[in-house]
């Protein structure tokens, strides 16, 4: 089964991000394909490379990056939600006159069209968080 996953909550604000991550891993282990993971609303905070949790805590951003790399998963941050929360990649930094970027490895910024495409191309769209 081909899946698209939507994550609407930040990495340390709510259990949704952890649950989505564990769901994705379990789905992959069972042989399912993940077409895309789309991070929306506060979920875009899963894609900042500046997150630095305490050493005894899980690093959710790193987990997402490693999962994307290991399984070649397209992980997209909603552009509007990312801009509102100060997340920028090279292109957005240039367009908006910012002097730095802060997107973690494995993530990219794009629009809602990527979510729609994921829903169309997949057998299921699964949403985590409000």
Calpha distance 31→13 (Å, rounded): 30
Calpha distance 112→98 (Å, rounded): 23
Question: For the chain, how are helix, strand and coil distributed in percent, rounded to 5?
Answer: 40, 20, 35
Which entry of 7, 20, 78, 82 is annotated as an active-site residue?
78
The answer to whether residue 78 is catalytic is yes
Calpha distance 23→9 (Å, rounded): 15
Question: Do 108 and 75 touch, CB atoms closer than 8 A?
Answer: yes
Question: Do 114 and 76 touch, CB atoms closer than 8 A?
Answer: yes
Active centre residues (catalytic) = 78
């Amino acid at each position: 089964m081909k899946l698209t996953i939507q994550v609407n909550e930040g990495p340390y604000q709510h259990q949704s991000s952890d649950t989505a991550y564990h769901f994705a891993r379990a789905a992959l282990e069972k042989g399912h394909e993940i077409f895309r993971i789309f991070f929306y609303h506060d979920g875009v905070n899963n894609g900042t490379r500046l997150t630095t949790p305490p050493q005894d805590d899980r690093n959710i951003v790193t987990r997402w990056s490693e999962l994307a790399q290991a399984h070649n998963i397209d992980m997209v941050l909603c552009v509007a939600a990312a801009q509102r929360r100060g997340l920028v990649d090279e292109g957005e930094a240039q367009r908006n006159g910012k002097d730095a970027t802060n997107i973690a490895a494995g993530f990219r910024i794009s629009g809602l069209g990527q979510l729609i495409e994921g829903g169309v191309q997949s057998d299921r769209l699964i949403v985590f968080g409000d």
